[in-house]
Amino acid sequence: MEDILKKLSDAIEVGKIDKDTPYPPELVGQEGASELTVRALDQNIDIQTILNDGLIPGMKRIGEKFSRGEAFIPNMLIAARAMNAAMQHLKPFFNDQTIKTKGTLVLGTVAGDLHDIGKNLVKMVMTGAGWEVIDLGTDVSSDKFVLAVKENPQCVVGLSALLTTTMLNMQDVVKAVKKGNPQTKVFIGGAPVSNEFSNKIGADGFFSDPYALVTHLE
């Protein structure tokens, strides 16, 4: 069991999706995250064990490398794709609550902003860390965030923005969410934002990379 979970973890870290994935070169033709997850299920390995000992460690390692500047956005993206391939086989177990999630994250890029790479990375990393992520998409209004929080009262909220012009809309979302749900934590991220800006608009924190948010919430 340990061997297949180790292989699965390694496949996630390097972004090996399946046998057809041409990278990394040393793993050409070998099983990737998709096949290894199926094999783990076929061996009746506990679903939570597959997640906790196979998928999450791989995402954690690539996230730590990203935080240290030893990995970059392309590395995170291919790891996220491998994670997504594995998660496709586990989704039914989320639906029937066989897998217990750590919490719910309502996530979206704020109004006026159509950029989604950063948001999608956060989604993949948080999902890989065992969170349920409700992705509202891009160009999301304050009202949509408020409605999502009402439907998921125990959630935390993640706001993304890439443009200096749209980051100002984060303040509107924070105010709207806190007005009806003052206990709800709202975190922000994106190239133009900072801890200073987070404090200024009343958010609960700024994170420069997805793994930093995971670590904070653990």
* 61-78 pLDDT tens trace: 888 888 788 988 889 889
Q: How confident is the model at residue 205 (pLDDT cuts 50, 70, 90)?
A: very high
pLDDT of the residue at 212 = 82
Mean pLDDT taken over the chain: 90
Which domains are seen in the chain, by residue range? 2-95 (1.10.1240.10), 104-217 (3.40.50.280)
Instruction: Tell me the average pLDDT across 180-184.
Output: 94
Instruction: Tell me the average pLDDT across 132-139.
Output: 95
Place of tokens 């994106």: 190
pTM for the whole thing? 0.75
Residue 100 reports pLDDT greater than 80: no
Return d(Cα 3, Cα 1) in angstroms, integer.
5
pLDDT of the residue at 1 = 72
Token pair of 75 as six digits = 């590395």
Q: Any idea what DSSP says for residue 71?
A: S
Q: Using an 8 Å Cβ cutoff, are 58 and 8 in contact?
A: yes
Q: How confident is the model at residue 40 (pLDDT cuts 50, 70, 90)?
A: very high
Residue 217 reports pLDDT greater than 90: no
Residue 141 reports pLDDT greater than 90: yes
What angle do the packed helices 56-67 and 117-128 form, to 10 degrees? 130
Instruction: Tell me the average pLDDT across 122-151.
Output: 92
* 183-197 pLDDT tens trace: 999 999 998 999 999
